[in-house]
Structures are given as C-alpha cells and as structure tokens.
C-alpha cells in the first residue's frame, strides 16, 4: 500500500457538517482515478471505507464524488481488493 497520509474534508449531506477523511489508497484504471478513504475517528472504531471518483475538470483543484452506479462501484472495489495492500475490503 502506498503511504498516503493525506486528508480531505467532505460535507455530510444529511447534517451539513464537515467530516475529515484520510486517504488510504488511490488507483488509476482505464484513465479514471479513484481514492479509498476512511473517516478520521477515535481509535478502536471499525473503519467504513468510501470509494470516491475523481471528477476534476482541471489539475488546479481535485473534485471527488461518491460512485452512484453499483456496477461501477463493484468494478472499482475490485481494483482496490486485488491490489497489493495492507487492508481488507468486504463487499
């Protein structure tokens, strides 16, 4: 697994609250970029990861969104699952 150590902030749609996430991995496949993130939480809590798709239109600012299409999500999750990494992904 690559050392990412970067964090990003996302807005929770339900609460409008800003939530901090740590980027734990990134992959580029078929010209598309994806990141795997987990919320920055207290130790001891189970990590629930999210996969975000880079939809940036320029290199100046990164823009990510959740993957809505279940077929695409399963395809992308396999990129992370099949990679040489230090984490487990459950579907």
pLDDT in tens, 42-55: 555 566 889 999 99
Per-residue pLDDT tens over the stretch 58-88: 888 888 899 989 999 999 998 888 877 777 7
Mean pLDDT of 16-35: 89
Buried-exposed string 25-57: b where 16+ CB fall within 10 A, e elsewhere: bbbeeeeeebbbbbeeeeeeeeeebebbbeeee
The pLDDT assigned to 36 comes to 92
Per-domain residue ranges for the chain? Answer: 6-82
């Amino acid at each position: 697994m690559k050392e990412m150590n970067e964090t990003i902030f996302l807005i929770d749609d339900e609460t409008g609250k800003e939530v901090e996430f740590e980027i734990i991995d990134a992959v580029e496949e078929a010209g598309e970029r994806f990141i795997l993130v987990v919320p920055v939480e207290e130790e001891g809590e189970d990590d629930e990861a999210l996969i975000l798709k880079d939809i940036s239109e320029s290199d100046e600012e990164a823009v990510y969104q959740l993957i809505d299409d279940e077929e695409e999500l399963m395809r992308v999750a396999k990129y992370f699952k099949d990679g040489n990494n230090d984490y487990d992904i459950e579907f």
